[in-house]
Amino acid sequence: MPGRFCKATPIIASNFLSDFIYLASQSPRRQELLKQIGVRYEMLLPAPGEDAESIETPLPHEKARDYVKRVTLAKASLALERWKKSGLSWAPILCADTTVSLPNSPSGEILGKPLDASDAYRILEMLSGKTHEVLTAVAVINNPEDAPNCVIQISEVEFATLSSEQINTYIASKEPFGKAGAYGIQGSAGAFISKINGSYSGIMGLPLYETAQLLDHARITRI
């Protein structure tokens, strides 16, 4: 349901207090959003040679909700193994993944990051004049022995009808690359969006309301 979150796993409270988390994401947007709500974090990034990208390949006929949950929990599992090998002291670990979905599209439900300019054009042309869904899953590992707590936030985004010139100009800006659905709502593509139903921060990549709830369960102090 747009604008609501659903539990992907039962919420388990942490039994100790922490003043920071490990962020297992390279997204600058997620870093900005955590700072916005006063969360201290340290980066827990893939080691050289670690294959963290292959998990993002959709499985045959995979639905967007199943995809974003699977990828986020897989990222959490990899991050936990990374921490175990690091020698670092424990703190809760946060992972997230965002995907864009056109549920009724015959060309496929899941629209990931564009491979190149041609792929970006294809994706933006598919979104033009339509309403799509943006799904962001967030997982927090409270304790090394526990399964992650995970929520999925879904928003609806209505795109204006875009001309070829608008699409090509946007692609030339390089903004579509590295973003699910080939656009970022916080950038110039915000001018393409006529309406949203849901979470602006969720569309950016980290729904703050749902994230704050998970972090409260993890007993994370904020500044």
Q: Is the pLDDT of residue 88 over 60?
A: yes
Predicted local confidence at residue 11, as pLDDT? 58
Q: What tokens were used for 136?
A: 């962001």
Q: Distance (Å, rounded) from C-alpha 54 to C-alpha 28?
A: 21
CATH ID of 5-217, from 3.90.950.10, 3.30.390.10, 3.30.1490.20, 2.40.50.140: 3.90.950.10
Q: How confident is the model at residue 2 (pLDDT cuts 50, 70, 90)?
A: low
Instruction: Encode pLDDT of 159-214 as tens digits.
Output: 999 999 999 999 999 999 999 999 999 999 999 999 999 999 999 999 999 999 99
As a whole number, mean pLDDT of residues 145-149 equals 93
Predicted local confidence at residue 15, as pLDDT? 60
| Catalytic-role residue among 19, 51, 97, 216 | 97
Is the CB of residue 159 less than 8 Å from the CB of residue 111? no
Predicted local confidence at residue 25, as pLDDT? 93
Q: Where are the domains of the chain?
A: 5-217
Is the CB of residue 153 less than 8 Å from the CB of residue 172? no
Q: Distance (Å, rounded) from C-alpha 127 to C-alpha 115?
A: 16
Q: Distance (Å, rounded) from C-alpha 78 to C-alpha 55?
A: 10
Q: What is the sign of the dihedral through the CA atoms of 190, 169, 122 and 53?
A: negative
HEC assignment per residue over the chain: CCCCEEECCCCCCCCCCECCEEECCCCHHHHHHHHHCCCCEEECCCCCCCCCCHHHCCCCCCCHHHHHHHHHHHHHHHHHHHHHHHCCCCCCEEEEEEEEECCCCCCCCEECCCCCHHHHHHHHHHHCCCEEEEEEEEEEECCCCCCCEEEEEEEEEEECCCCHHHHHHHHHCCCCCCCHHHCCCCCHHHHHEEEEECCHHHHHCCCHHHHHHHHHHCCECCC
**Highest mean pLDDT: which of 44-48, 57-61, 87-91?**
87-91
Predicted local confidence at residue 37, as pLDDT? 97
Q: How confident is the model at residue 10 (pLDDT cuts 50, 70, 90)?
A: low
As a whole number, mean pLDDT of residues 40-47 equals 91
pTM of the model: 0.89
Name, in order, each residue with C-beta under 8 angstroms of 133's C-beta and a sequence gap of 6 or more: 2, 64, 100, 101, 102, 103, 154, 155, 156, 157
Q: Is the pLDDT of residue 77 over 90?
A: yes
Active site residue 97: yes
Q: Distance (Å, rounded) from C-alpha 60 to C-alpha 141?
A: 28
